[in-house]
Chain A
Amino acid sequence: MAEPTVILDALAIQRSLTRIAHEIAERNEDDAKVVLVGIPVGGDHLAARLAKILAGIWKHDVPFGILDTTMHRDDLDQRVAPTVHPTDIPFDVTGKTVVLVDDVLFSGRTTRAAMDALNDFGRPKRIQLAVLVDRGHRELPIKADFVGKNVPTSLDEKISLLLTEAGAAQDEVILKRK
């Protein structure tokens, strides 16, 4: 197995999130209607960080929640049951602009499951997608609205996001060959 490569360090992650937050602010003039929903594991912490940066830009609190997508996955018959994480969306999504936040955009299937899962909580006015890393290899017609970094990858590589909130020593995104 080759040595893992750091593709984003702590500072680069921070810069990416700041830029994404500004892009979200630029795209959404109706800032009172914007809510963030992170997908675990990883996207939940990123949503919390983005909410904090956006609160600084907009000068008001930005609601954020956590959405587990495992019960809506389309591959439950092809794998050992995935770990189910708690869902916590402490606001009504109906009529809101929901920005889904995920760490890595890959096949697009998690995003599809997330959109289905979100529908059970209400009918958002629109859904946007923010990801820290887009690694390509889409299997569905899904495209991110906000991307931290585009990383061309091969299928035998794995990208992992490590965050201090999740117990890592420092924030970084690493790429490993399986």
Chain B
Amino acid sequence: MSWTKKHLLDIESLTAEEITTVLDTARSFKAVGKRAIKKVPALRGKTVINLFVEPSTRTRTSFELAAIRLSADIINFSAEASSFKKGETLKDTAKNLEALNADFIIIRHSASGAPHFLSRVLDSHVINAGDGAHEHPTQALLDAFTIREKKGRIAGLNVTILGDILYSRVARSDIWALTKLGAKVTLCGPSTLVPKTFEQMGCRVTYDVDEAIRDADIINLLRIQHERQRKTMFPSIAEYTNLFGLNKARLAKTKPDALIMHPGPINRGVEIDSEIADCNRSVILEQVTNGLAVRMAVLFLVNGGKMATAAA
């Protein structure tokens, strides 16, 4: 078991073994969070820069805390208060950050492929914290971690991802990760947001929500991403809630041990009933805790990855 990648750009290029390595490593880092002293010196003296060109609170905070708990120094760089407003290119901004001896650059960007681009022009480690509708690899890793921890395995489980698949980088990363690990993934939502082409990624597409969740071991809900939709993809929010929202009546028809997940932020009363979000089958807050452990594991592993790249 070893990790030899210098960057974490996507899940698509990872092997099942590499994904499992991250999950195994994250288990030990999760234990660190339960200690009286929640900090280890693994990345002492390293500089991490959160380059968030698109707004985010939870992912940014999670990476920030992950870096701090590994004893690295971290600064946040947000688009609103930056030189992007003054017309600087992404490459120039990143080069400037690297000139400050940044060891890791964690990037979120509205353009798909932005992290890949940076990995070609920088010497620093690049970690993708979400690029457009392409991928959000650490979210998929924390989802896989949560499923494995709760169910003891991933292979053979039925995972239903419900909601806005088309505009969701979380859906794409989840599909890659979970199918590589042997889960059976079903996608469901309005046909405008769940095109049949997703079947090419090795999952099943259905538009009947009751059928989609009936045999599910995991129900992963996604938010409707108003900010990404160029025009209305369905008549109204109320209609979406009626047809696809997870409510008590729908939940009653699922397996009694089916878990409910959501990458957040949740829209109570839209994709999920408020009561369900807080019920004992919901693992939404545990996903947040696990996200921290997974991001610590990713920083730790890519730090060692440069040695393999240098030796190659």
Q: Is the CB of A80 within 8 A of B35?
A: no
Is A3 close to B, CB under 8 A?
no
Using C-beta atoms within 8 Å of the partner chain, give the interface range for chain A: 20 to 34
Residue total for B at the interface (Cβ-Cβ under 8 A): 27
Is A168 close to B, CB under 8 A?
no
Q: Is the CB of B300 within 8 A of A84?
A: yes
Flag the segment in A30-38, A52-60, A68-76, A154-162 that touches B.
Answer: A68-76
Q: Is the CB of B303 within 8 A of A83?
A: no
With A68-B28, A81-B301 as given contacts, are A76 and B42 in contact (CB-CB < 8 Å)? Answer: yes
Is A116 close to B, CB under 8 A?
yes
Flag the segment in B111-119, B279-287, B304-312 that touches A.
Answer: B304-312
Flag the segment in B1-9, B88-96, B186-194 that touches A.
Answer: B1-9
With A86-B27, A86-B31 as given contacts, are A81 and B40 in contact (CB-CB < 8 Å)? Answer: no
Q: Is the CB of B303 within 8 A of A71?
A: no
Q: With a CB–CB cut-off of 8 A, which chain A residues contact B308?
A: 80
Q: With a CB–CB cut-off of 8 A, which chain B residues contact A84?
A: 24-25, 28-29, 297, 300
**Which 9 pairs across A and B sit closest by C-beta, in order of nearness?**
A81-B304, A71-B40, A120-B37, A84-B28, A71-B42, A80-B304, A81-B301, A84-B25, A80-B308
Chain B interface (Cβ < 8 Å from any Cβ of A): 1-4, 24-25, 27-29, 31-32, 35-37, 39-43, 297, 300-301, 303-305, 307-308
A81-B300, A121-B37 known; 17 new pairs, CB 8 Å cut-off, are A68-B28, A70-B42, A71-B40, A71-B300, A72-B41, A73-B42, A76-B300, A79-B304, A80-B2, A80-B4, A80-B304, A83-B25, A85-B28, A116-B41, A120-B37, A120-B39, A121-B35
